[in-house]
A = this chain, B = another copy of it.
Amino acid sequence: MSKDSVKLLNFWPSMFGLRVHYALDLKGVSYDYQEENLFNKSKELLEANPIYTKIPVLIHNGKPICESLVIVDYIDCVWPGSHKLLPEDPYEKAVARFWADFGDKKLYDAGSRLIRAMGEEHKKAGEDLKWALMKIDEALGTIAPGKPFFGGDAMNFADVALAPFICWFKGYQKVGGFVLPGPEEWPNLYKWVDAVNSVDAIKISTPSHDKIAEFAEVIRKRVIGAA
């Protein structure tokens, strides 16, 4: 791996960027890191992702790869190593991809609206977020009964895609003004959260939950101020 040049362009609170951190760290791939200022993006980012001009971008031996799930898939192909993220079985693979995508379509979307929306829309976003987390609890119980991860005993593609939202839970609750149901109601989800948080590779890049919560409040205040 020493011959490879691997660089991640990112912005620290991004759950999409964290997916890339997690995949690289689970594989033990060494990489350079470049923090981006989203109000003054680097020339490198603009050139590497001209379509979306968004982080994260992985630059591997000079070639840019964009979109977090595409990047995680790429990492799994290039460095299969001892920790394969995508199951070999086509159906299990499809299930992992479905739940990874659920993170984008439902979890991110609800969290994003919770931070930015007002009034009824804000309330609806909180309900949608709880629904999404409940569905993840149910899915864990169905897909991997008795096991901690979507991948069973080890994190797979779905786990890597969904785990970055864990450090946002506190922020969601702060800006949402609610308390999420506890482990007695969502046993699989809490077991998964504990299991994810205890993986050494995950600890490397996860920001402090308090720092994320402060960041969520800053965004919300900025939105309210601009309204």
On A, residues with C-beta under 8 Å from B are 51, 60, 63, 65-67, 69-71, 73-74, 77-78, 90-91, 93-94, 97-98, 101-102, 135
Contacts and interface: CB of A to CB of B under 8 A. Distances in A.
Given A51-B135, A102-B51, A135-B51, A93 B74 contact: yes
A90 B102 contact: no
Q: Is the interface of A mostly helix, strand, loop or mixed?
A: helix
A47 to B, nearest CB: 14
19 contacts: A51-B102, A65-B91, A65-B94, A66-B98, A67-B97, A67-B98, A67-B101, A69-B97, A70-B94, A70-B97, A70-B98, A71-B94, A73-B94, A73-B97, A74-B90, A74-B91, A74-B94, A77-B90, A77-B93
Contacts of A77: 90, 93
**Residue of A69, A78, A97 contacting most chain B CB atoms (<10 Å):** A97
A23 B66 CA distance: 25
Contacts of A69: 97
A94 B66 CA distance: 8
Contacts of A93: 73-74, 77
Contacts of A67: 97-98, 101
